[in-house]
Amino acid sequence: MILLLGASGYLGRAFADELRRRGYGFIPLTRRALDYGDFSRLFNYVRKVQPEFLINAAGYPGRPNLDACESAHELALSANTLLPQTIARVCLMTHTAWGHVSSSGIYTGAKVFDHGVLLLEKDLNQPRLRQRLAEQPEFVRGFTEGDAPNFTFRDGWCNFYNGTKALAEEMIRGVGRSYLWRPGILFSEQDEPRNLLTRIQQYPKVYDSINSLSHAGDFARACLNLWEREAAFGVYNVVNPGVISNREVVEMIQRILKPQRQFEFWKDEREFYHFGARAPRSHCLLDITKLLNTGEEMRPVTEALEDTLHHWHAASPPAALAAP
């Protein structure tokens, strides 16, 4: 039996769907049923039910977005750093194997070959780098699991949400029999607030950034496969390979979903941070060679996005809008 924490959330539901598809018995534990952030309660519960694996898909990414974490420090720290630390201690003491959902957002930028040397470029959106990515993508490399995160409290420049995620990795990395899975920005077929494809369609203006993305179902499947095939415990980047900009995602949405609205873009970073966002965002690329070397296959990001949009389930319009 598998214990799933955060099953009511966006990624938690993706894990629950995948577990159901595989016919696994699992307990989708909610905070309402058990305050799993409390060490003694979780310890006694895990000792009692003895799960063969525990998945931590719980956390606080901010509502409606990570800007909310800037004014909810205690909540973000408790859900994103202290909770994984508590789970790590419980799993260590009960010899339970487990996996934790981390984030690609603990990095910003990518690594770029310059005269044969790999240099760190922190700003993926600078025109020179965007041109390089378009013309010579083979000269740009994502961060590997061995690269130190560079968008953390230690770096002095990050947002509070990603700071708490990086701190969690620092505290639990290498503790017990654990996986640290790093997704990129998540998307899926279901129209809902956490989904990148929903957010892009709802933003008044889109910021044309580049990021590694993960299809939520592909992510859950790959994470479970790592455990099932007994891959070595440790950190794994789990994203759909390839590079795509938000502008290209918008073009795909226009071509496939044919929405009524026109899309506008923030002119530049200055305008975006003045009107569209409060806390700094990370924009980064992750390398998944380590994941692929375990035998896992990941669809290229453009293929995954195309397929997702062709199977798009639009949410029903809110009742107030549907009424005459």
Ligand X SMILES: NC(=O)c1ccc[n+]([C@@H]2O[C@H](COP(=O)([O-])OP(=O)(O)OC[C@H]3O[C@@H](n4cnc5c(N)ncnc54)[C@H](OP(=O)(O)O)[C@@H]3O)[C@@H](O)[C@H]2O)c1
Q: Could you list the residues that contact ligand X (CB under 6 A)?
A: 6, 8-12, 30-31, 57-61, 75, 78-80, 101, 103, 165, 183, 185-186, 194
Give residue for tokens 């909770």: 83
Contact 276/207 with Cβ under 8 angstroms?
Answer: yes
Q: Measured from the CB atom, is 112 or 291 closer to ligand X?
A: 291
Q: Measured from the CB atom, is 7 or 253 closer to ligand X?
A: 7
| Numbers of helices and strands, H then E, in the chain | 13, 11
Minimum distance from residue 25 beta carbon to ligand X (Å) = 19
Determine the residue with CB nearest ligand X.
9
Q: Measured from the CB atom, is 8 or 94 closer to ligand X?
A: 8
Minimum distance from residue 103 beta carbon to ligand X (Å) = 4
Q: Measured from the CB atom, is 2 or 112 closer to ligand X?
A: 2
Alpha carbon distance 21, 26 (integer Å):
12
Minimum distance from residue 234 beta carbon to ligand X (Å) = 18
Mapped to the 3 state alphabet, what secondary structure does 244-295 carry? CEHHHHHHHHHHHHCCCCCCCECCCHHHHHHHHCCCCCCCECECCHHHHCCC
Alpha carbon distance 169, 185 (integer Å):
18
Minimum distance from residue 127 beta carbon to ligand X (Å) = 27
Contact 33/6 with Cβ under 8 angstroms?
Answer: no
Q: Measured from the CB atom, is 194 or 215 closer to ligand X?
A: 194
Alpha carbon distance 255, 309 (integer Å):
10
Minimum distance from residue 66 beta carbon to ligand X (Å) = 9
